[in-house]
Amino acid sequence: MKLFDAFIHRSPNKLFAAIVFGSLAGVAYSLLIPIVLNSITGDSRFVAEDTANAIVFGIEVANQSFATAFLIICLFIFFARTFSQITLTRLALDVTSDLRKDIYQNIAKASLINLENVGSPKLLATITKDVEDIMRGVKVLPDLIISMVTIVSMLSFLLLLNAEAFGFVLAAILFGALTYQIPMLIGRNYFIKARERVDDLHEGIRGLIYGAKELKLNTSRKEHYHQVELNDAESGLIKTQKTALAIVRSAMNYGDLIGFFVIGVITFVFVNYSDISSEELIGVIMAMLYVTGPVGSILNTFPELSMAKVSLRKITHLRKLLAEEAFNESVEPIKPWQSITVKNLRFIYPSQEEDTSFSVGPVSLQLKKGQVTFIVGGNGSGKSTLGKMLTMHYLPTAGSISFDDVEVTKDNINSYRQCISSIYSDYYLFQSLHGLGNKLDEDKVQKYLTKLKLQDKVTIENGRFSTLKLSDGQRKRLALLVAYLEEKDLYLFDEWAADQDPDFKHFFYYELLKELREAGKAVIVISHDDRYFDLADQVIVMERGLRRDESSVTIPTEAPEEKQEEFV
Ligand SMILES: Nc1ncnc2c1ncn2[C@@H]1O[C@H](COP(=O)(O)OP(=O)(O)OP(=O)(O)O)[C@@H](O)[C@H]1O
**Does residue 557 surpass a pLDDT of 50?**
no
In this structure, the residue with its CA closest to atom 7 of ligand 1 is 349
DSSP 110: B
Give per-residue pLDDT as tens, 307-365: 788 888 888 888 888 877 778 788 888 889 999 999 999 998 877 555 667 889 799 99
For residues 390 and 490, give the distance between their C-alpha atoms in angstroms, rounded to a whole number: 10
Q: How far is the CA of 425 from the centre of ligand 1 (A)?
A: 12
* Whole-angstrom Cα Rg for the chain: 35
Q: pLDDT tens for residues 388-414?
A: 999 999 989 899 999 998 999 988 998
Q: How confident is the model at residue 141 (pLDDT cuts 50, 70, 90)?
A: confident
Residue 106 contacts residue 324 (beta carbons within 8 Å): yes
The interaxial angle of helices 442-451 and 472-486, nearest 10 deg, is: 150
Cβ–Cβ under 8 Å, residues 84 and 116: no
| Amino acid at site 505 | K
- Give the separation between CA 231 and CA 243, rounded to whole angstroms: 18
Ligand 1 atom nearest to CA at 113:
1
**Lowest model confidence (mean pLDDT) among 8-17, 33-42, 223-232, 286-295:** 33-42
State pLDDT tens for residues 106-120.
Answer: 888 888 888 888 888
Band of the pLDDT at 566, cuts 50, 70, 90? very low
Indicate which atom in ligand 1 lies nearest the CA of residue 542. Answer: 21
Q: State how far the Cα of 448 lies from the Cα of 367, in Å rounded to an integer.
A: 26
* Residue of minimum CA distance from atom 2 in ligand 1: 349
CA of 476 to the centre of ligand 1 (A): 21
- Residues 223-236 have pLDDT tens digits of 888 888 889 889 88
In sign, the C-alpha dihedral spanning 225, 229, 235, 236 is positive
Residue 381 near residue 432, CB atoms below 8 Å: no
pLDDT computed for residue 22 by the predictor: 83
> What percent of the chain stands above pLDDT 70?
91
Q: Over 318-363, what HEC string results?
A: HHHHCCECCCCCCCCCCCCCCEEEEEEEEEECCCCCHHHCCEEEEE
Span 46-88, pLDDT tens digits: 555 556 667 777 777 777 777 888 889 999 999 998 898 888 8
Q: Quote the ligand 1 centre to 509 CA distance (angstroms).
A: 25
pLDDT at 10: 78
Among 428, 427, 421, 392, which Cα is nearest to 492's?
A: 421
Ligand 1 centre and the CA of 487: distance in Å? 29
- To test the pocket of ligand 1, the residue of 349, 375, 386 to mutate (highest count of ligand atoms within 8 Å of its CB) is 349
500 CB contacts (<8 Å, ≥6 apart)?
473, 476, 477, 508
Q: Are strands 490-494 and 420-423 parallel, antiparallel or unpaired?
A: parallel
| pLDDT at position 491 | 95
State pLDDT tens for residues 508-518.
Answer: 898 889 989 99
Mean pLDDT, range 467-485, rounded to an integer: 87
d(CA 356, CA 348): 10
Instruction: Write the pLDDT tens digit of every residue in 447-461.
Output: 888 888 888 888 888
Ligand 1: which residue has its CA nearest to atom 12? 358
Asked if residue 208 has pLDDT above 70, the reply is yes
- Helix, strand and coil percent figures for the chain, each rounded to 5: 65, 10, 25
User: What is residue 367's predicted lDDT score, i.e. its pLDDT?
Assistant: 93
Contact assessment for residue 30 and residue 161, using Cβ atoms and an 8 Å cutoff:
no
Mean of per-residue pLDDT scores for the chain: 82
Nearest to 390 by CA among 353, 365, 410, 372: 365
Residue 25 has pLDDT above 60, yes or no: yes
Burial zone of 12 (CB within 10 Å; 0-12 exposed, 13-18 middle, 19+ buried): exposed
pTM of this structure: 0.73
d(CA 257, CA 103): 42
Cα distances from 222 to residues 225, 230, 234, in angstroms, run 5, 11, 16
- Pick from 369, 367, 500, 519: nearest CA to 423: 500
Question: What pLDDT band is residue 435 in, cutting at 50, 70 and 90?
Answer: low
pLDDT value, residue 352: 56
DSSP annotation string for 386-427:
HHHHHTTSSPPSEEEEEETTEEP-TTTHHHHHTTEEEE-TT-
Nearest CA residue ID for atom 3, ligand 1: 349
pLDDT at 41: 64
Residue 494 CA to ligand 1 centre (angstroms):
13
Q: Are 221 and 215 in contact (CB under 8 A)?
A: yes
Q: Quick one: which atom of ligand 1 is closest to the CA of 378?
A: 25
Domains in the chain: ranges and CATH: 3-321 (1.20.1560.10), 339-567 (3.40.50.300)
Asked if the model's pLDDT at residue 255 lies above 60, the reply is yes
CA of residue 380 to ligand 1 center, whole Å: 5
pLDDT band at 563 (very low <50, low <70, confident <90, very high): very low
Count of all residues that appear for the chain in the document:
568
Q: What are phi and psi of 346, to 5 degrees?
A: -140, 145
Q: Nearest residue CA, atom 19 of ligand 1?
A: 380
Ligand 1 centroid–CA 359 distance in Å is 9
What is the CA(295)–ligand 1 centre distance, in A? 58
What is each CA distance from 290 to 231, 259, 277, 307, 536, in whole angstroms?
A: 46, 10, 20, 28, 85
Give the pLDDT of residue 49: 55
d(CA 365, CA 343): 7
- At 145-167, the pLDDT tens digits run 778 888 888 888 888 888 888 88
Segment 235-249, tens digit of pLDDT: 888 999 899 888 888
Q: Looking at residues 107-136, what average pLDDT do you find?
A: 83
- Residue of the nearest CA to atom 18 in ligand 1? 382
- Percent of the chain having pLDDT more than 90? 15
Ligand 1, CB cutoff 6 Å, lining residues:
116, 349, 358, 377, 379-385
Q: Are 195 and 310 in contact (CB under 8 A)?
A: yes
